[in-house]
Chains A and B, each alone.
Chain A
Amino acid sequence: MYNFDVERPTSIADAVQAMSKEEAQPISGGQTLIPTLKARLAAPSVLVSLTGIEEMKGVCMSDDGRLCIGGGTTHSAVAAEAAAHYPGLASVAARIGDPAVRNRGTIGGSLANNDPSACYPAAALGSGATIVTNSREIAADDYFLGMFTTALEEGEIVTEVKFPIPQASHYEKFIQPASRFPLVAVFVAKFSDGVRVAVTGASNDGVFRWTEAEEALSANFSADAVAGLKAEGDMISDLHGTAEYRAHLVGVMTKRAVAAIA
């Protein structure tokens, strides 16, 4: 690891101020960033730690019925505190990485990083969540722009995520046991006005909505409805699975998720 200075602001305003320094990089739980720094794949001169900002932590219900989660809330806190309001989301958080990773990693960090195999992007996109930053609100549909790429501007910080709560949801994850990331995972959310299906781990473009499956499931919410469908796209091919295998898994995971709900 190359050396860097660390700033520990205690408010969002101070964090935004600290991010204006040259080559500043925000760090939340650091469960991806610290390994990245160790591998010298990033060399910021200043790390702005977001873990001391209390106003960015916690889970609550908004007046309009959405579940609001502070960007600095750990996966273990979401698993515990969201369970009563949005069990499908709590279940996603409870299965990220391992217990020690969940005690550090945060929802804001995961969404800002947008790893193509991360769990939270699927939950956020599948729920139609809104990503709140220090300067604006971004719909999930406009937020995920490709592998490790988001709509965030330089220095912009994810302060909160607002989740509409579906009637039912399920996250089906085919785990890659060495990394504990999904090889492919699918988040299915059934709302009164339709179904959303978000896929992670499969595409070189990162998380995506499988719209054909959404249409089929909105018309007929059963595993059989997606039986004949095949996910298209630029699928990831690596030593863990070919593109064709991943495309097949998308269908299988979707069917299992629907079966778990229906």
Chain B
Amino acid sequence: MTQVKMTVNGKTASGDVEGRTLLAQFLRDDQGLTGTHVGCDTSQCGACVVHVNGQAVKACTMLAIEADGATVDTIEGQANADGSLNVIQQAFQDHHGLQCGFCTPGMVMSAAALLKDNPKPTEAEVRHYLDGNICRCTGYHNIVKAIMAASGQDVSAIAAE
């Protein structure tokens, strides 16, 4: 076992991990942060997307040891300081950007990564960026709409669901 220490959602998180322990396992099983979902466990679906040092990565395809010393942000750290939903989360609620909700943590984290680099993406850019996030309910229209709305753009003209 190796001790790892990282900053998760602004707080120090440490624990003992095996070489094979995945970041997703460390977050969920060791830290109790079960908002990071593991859908496919083969880096296809994106339900496990978190940010490591500000970049979106699939937590099911990164070793926890590799995140030693890193800054990790998960869905649990996305809400505003007063506990209210942040702009992206609120937009997902307002535009019905989720059905069963399983993919939502990964969608929100990918959306946050996109909007950080590209604050006003086109609809095509949003869809392209979500290449690695799969919604089993196929509710993509409203997810795209929510992200466009979160970027402050008018979504009234976006194709209806």
Contacts and interface: CB of A to CB of B under 8 A. Distances in A.
Interface residues of B, number: 29
Contact of A6 (B46, B52, B61, B63): B63
A99 B2 contact: no
A85 interface: no
Interface string B124-139: 0000010111000000
Given A6-B65, A35-B42, A100 B57 contact: yes
Contact of B19 (A3, A31, A76, A100): A3
A4 B113 CA distance: 32
A91 to B, nearest CB: 13
B43 A4 contact: no
Interface in B46-72: 46, 49, 52, 55-58, 61-63, 65-66, 68
A3 B18 contact: yes
B43 to A, nearest CB: 6
A1 B18 CA distance: 11
Interface residues on A, range: 20 to 34
A30 interface: yes
A130 to B, nearest CB: 29
B3 to A, nearest CB: 13
Majority SS at the chain B contact face: mixed
B112 to A, nearest CB: 12
A97 interface: yes
Contacts, number: 77
B18 A103 contact: no
Given A4-B19, A47-B19, A34 B132 contact: no
Interface in B122-161: 129, 131-133
Nearest to B69: A52
B131 A98 contact: yes
B62 A34 contact: yes
B42 A38 contact: yes
Contact of B55 (A1, A4, A31, A103): A103
Given A98-B46, A101-B132, A1 B20 contact: yes
A100 B46 contact: yes
A34 B42 CA distance: 9
B62 A30 contact: yes
A148 B157 CA distance: 48
A183 B94 CA distance: 39
Contact of A34 (B61, B113, B114): B61
Given A1-B20, A35-B43, A99 B56 contact: yes
Given A30-B61, A76-B55, A101 B66 contact: no
A104 B131 contact: no
A49 interface: yes
Nearest to A175: B131
B62 A101 contact: no
B89 interface: no
B85 to A, nearest CB: 23
A38 B41 contact: yes
B110 interface: yes
A99 B20 contact: no
Interface string B97-127: 0000000000000100110000000000000
Given A34-B43, A99-B131, 9 more contacts: A2-B20, A6-B2, A27-B63, A30-B61, A35-B61, A76-B55, A99-B56, A100-B110, A101-B58
**List of 10 A-B pairs having minimum Cβ-Cβ separation, nearest first:** A98-B132, A98-B131, A103-B55, A6-B19, A1-B20, A4-B19, A100-B56, A6-B65, A100-B58, A34-B61
